Amino acid sequence: MKQLNNVFGESLPGSLSLPAHTVEAKSFAGKLLLLIVVLLMCIGIVIVYSSGAGWGQMKFSNPEHFLWRQVFFTFLAFATILIVSSFDYLIFRKLSKILFFSSIILLAGLLLFKFLGLIDGAARWIYIGPVSFQVSDFAKYALIFHFARLITDKREYIKDLNESYYPLLTLLLTVVALIAFAPNFSTASLVAVIGFTMMFLGGVRLRHLFLTAVPLVPLAGAFAIAQPYRVQRLLSFFNGGDEQQLSYQVRQALIGLGNGGMFGLGIGESKQRELFLPLSYNDFVFVIIGEEFGFIGAVGVLVLFSLFFICGLVIAKNAADGFGRFVALGITVTIALYAFINIAVATHVLPTTGLPLPFISYGGTALLFNSLGVGILVSISRKKKGATGTGDEMTGGRG
């Protein structure tokens, strides 16, 4: 596991007993991470109400429509964290295969319904009465659990091409392809990044990853420009020097961030939220933060996500077993990556995508699944020593 050793700056011991200072560091990181998430959720309630009042009035004749739904999902998300954190996270190791192949079946089923004409538009959601969820969110976490298990089980031959890399790559590309053809190219791309990152940290040969990227990157690029709306997004991004070529969303987002200045206009004083900025309560919620709380508020949110990332790495570094270590890495990278992409899109650093800002953007599915991830991180931070006989001892792979 040379890559993982380099990231953590130390070799991984064969014994899973943890010194007292590492247990304390891990426990503190878990508590701080929980505090950070609560702060982000509180910010989300305030910003969703501020940014969604006008849209709620226009769409539902109720300016508080988005507020009360966000409050409900926030309480549900916090309850999820408390419940999941009280369980032993190793249960997800036992269920990883079932969860992973269930996600494959659900993704394939949605594509089949779309092919049969039973679904119009993107095949992303499953509706069960009044409840709905986005299958890609489920698949993303199922992949993390299953990859963490496989990487740990294959530790002695993780560098082997046929015994380790090809099976992992096949599973990853299956999930990515099913999500991409939904179509959901941005989520498929991020799932690919998450999977390859976990394989790299798990000890897969860098040469194998590079040789895979050589054909996959051009293929992904061709797939990206196969749809006119994605081409338009790319053109508006790369023509950013010409203000007239910017997309409407990007122009309004940059105006909003400029309005905020250093200290912002104040809570509820955003101008762009008044039906100028589409999805101001979801994809572009960071713009409202910058407009109402200014540069200081925007940097504050960046600091919170940076601290979340650091806490996640500390928990992963001091995890009591290999499975917990890789699950913690996968969850931490996933949430941090989504936050970075969302903020980068809002500030015109990256082309427009449809990814929410974790814990802040309006929506129930992403919030609940991310809260599941936080609950698991807290559970990992509480475990004092690994269970024996699980095959999780971290030893170097043969090469």
Query: pLDDT digits over 359-372, tens only?
Result: 999 988 899 999 99
In this predicted structure, what is the pLDDT of residue 228? 73
What pLDDT does residue 238 have? Answer: 67
Mean pLDDT of the region 171-183: 93
pLDDT of residue 190: 94
Which of 12-16, 100-104, 205-209, 237-241 is least confident? 12-16
Q: How confident is the model at residue 332 (pLDDT cuts 50, 70, 90)?
A: very high
Average pLDDT (151-176) is: 92
| CB distance 100 to 142 below 8 Å | yes
Does the pLDDT value for residue 336 go beyond 90?
A: yes
- Answer yes or no: is pLDDT of 13 > 50: no
Q: What is the 3-state secondary structure (H, E, C) of 240-304?
A: CCCHHHCCHHHHHHHHHHHHHCCCCCCCCCCCCCCCCCCCCCCCCHHHHHHHHHHHHHHHHHHHH
Answer whether residue 258 shows pLDDT above 60. yes
- Percent of all residues in the chain with a pLDDT value above 90, rounded to a whole number: 53
What integer is the mean pLDDT of 303-310? Answer: 97
Query: Is residue 8's pLDDT more than 60?
Result: no
More confident residue, 218 or 35: 35
Q: Rounded mean pLDDT of 319-334?
A: 96
Type of residue at 217? V
Neighbours of 99 (CB within 10 A): 18
- Decide which of 130 and 120 is more confident: 120
pLDDT per residue as tens digits for the range 48-106: 998 888 888 888 888 888 899 999 999 999 999 999 999 999 999 999 999 999 999 99
Overall average pLDDT of the 310-318 stretch: 95
Confidence band, pLDDT 50/70/90 cuts, at residue 40: very high
Six-digit token string for 259: 């309005």
Q: For position 55, what pLDDT does the model report? A: 81
What is the pLDDT at residue 4? 57
320 forms beta bridges with none
Mean per-residue pLDDT of the chain = 85
Task: Decide if pLDDT at 320 tops 60.
Answer: yes
pLDDT at 2 over 70: no
pLDDT of 399 reads: 36
Is residue 397 predicted with pLDDT exceeding 60?
Answer: no
Q: What is the pLDDT of residue 209?
A: 93
Residue 389's pLDDT is what? 40
Q: In the predicted model, what is the mean pLDDT of residues 334-357?
A: 90
234-252 pLDDT per residue, tens: 776 666 555 554 567 778 8
pLDDT of residue 348: 84
Most confident range (mean pLDDT) of 36-45, 248-257, 271-280, 353-362 is: 36-45
Task: Write the secondary structure of the chain as one string of H (helix), E (strand) and C (coil).
Answer: CHHHHHHHCCCCCCCCECCHHHHHHHHHHHHHHHHHHHHHHHHHHHHHHHHHHHHHHHHHCCCCHHHHHHHHHHHHHHHHHHHHHCCCCCHHHHHHHHHHHHHHHHHHHHHHHHHCCCCCCCCCEEEECCEEEEHHHHHHHHHHHHHHHHHHHCHHHCCCHHHHHHHHHHHHHHHHHHHHCCCCHHHHHHHHHHHHHHHHHHCCCHHHHHHHHHHHHHHHHHHHCCCHHHHHHHHHHHCCCCHHHCCHHHHHHHHHHHHHCCCCCCCCCCCCCCCCCCCCCCCCHHHHHHHHHHHHHHHHHHHHHHHHHHHHHHHHHCCCCHHHHHHHHHHHHHHHHHHHHHHHHHCCCCCCCCCCCCCCCCCCHHHHHHHHHHHHHHHHHHCCECCCCCCCCCCCCCC
Lowest-pLDDT range, 99-108, 218-227, 313-322, 334-343?
218-227
pLDDT at 287: 92
